[in-house]
């Protein structure tokens, strides 16, 4: 009995030469972005001293830039951006929830341990 209500996936995500040119252009743009962001991070890291007035801002900026880089790697290089929405959420949401919660309890506990010592 053949079923016609199921969606076939194709193993071969083929694309044409013209599409390839576009995709490669995007890849090189992302490369440029990742390189520039890394260079900015290193220059800031070498210039701004930890614990100085600007440090908190720089620290938050580092984390934001890291998430930006991670986003481009996952969405463009790993093609998660091209997958179905359901797959995106299944991969990202449980992980994000768990890690944010783990960070919260671990850092709260770490600070408490420091105060107790």
Partner 1 sequence: MAGHATKEIDSATLWGGKGSPFSASYGKLMMWFFLVSDALTFGGLLVAYGYTRYSTQGTWPIGEETFEALPFLGNGYPLAYVALMTFILIVSSVTMVLAVEAGHRMDKKGVIKWMLATIIGGFFFLGSQAWEWSHFIHGTPFGKVTLNDGSVAVVKGDFGAIENFEVIEAGHHHAVGDLVTEDLLHEFQHAAQAGHLHGTADNLTIHLHDGSVAKVNKAADENLQLIIKEAGTKHAISSAADESTRVTAEEGAVAEYYEALTKGAVIYGANMTQNEYGPDQYGQFFFFITGFHGFHVFSGVIINIIIFLGVLRGIYHQRGHYEMVEKTGLYWHFVDLVWVFVFTFFYLI
**Footprint of partner 1 on this chain (CB under 8 A)?**
1-3, 6-9, 11-17, 20, 23-24, 27-28, 30-31, 34-35, 38-39, 41-42, 45-46, 49-53, 55, 59, 62-63, 65-66, 69-70, 73-74, 76-79, 83-84, 86-87, 90-91, 94-95, 98-99, 102-103, 106-107, 109-111, 113-114, 117
Contact 49, 55 (CB under 8 A): yes
Contact 98, 106 (CB under 8 A): no
Q: What's the closest the beta carbon of residue 20 comes to partner 1, in angstroms?
A: 5
Q: What's the closest the beta carbon of residue 2 comes to partner 1, in angstroms?
A: 8
Which sign, positive or negative, has the C-alpha torsion 15, 21, 24, 30?
A: negative
Give the alpha-carbon dihedral of 13, 71, 88, 21, to 10 degrees. Answer: -20
């Amino acid at each position: 009995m053949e079923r016609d209500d199921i969606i076939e996936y194709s193993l071969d995500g083929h694309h044409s030469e013209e599409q390839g040119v576009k995709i490669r252009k995007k890849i090189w743009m992302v490369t440029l972005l990742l390189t520039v962001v890394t260079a900015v991070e290193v220059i800031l890291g070498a210039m701004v001293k930890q614990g100085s007035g600007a440090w908190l801002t720089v620290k938050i900026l580092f984390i934001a830039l890291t998430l930006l880089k991670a986003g481009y790697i996952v969405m463009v290089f790993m093609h998660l951006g091209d997958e179905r929405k359901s797959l995106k959420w299944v991969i990202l949401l449980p992980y994000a929830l768990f890690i944010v919660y783990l960070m919260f309890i671990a850092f709260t506990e770490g600070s408490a341990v420091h105060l107790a010592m």
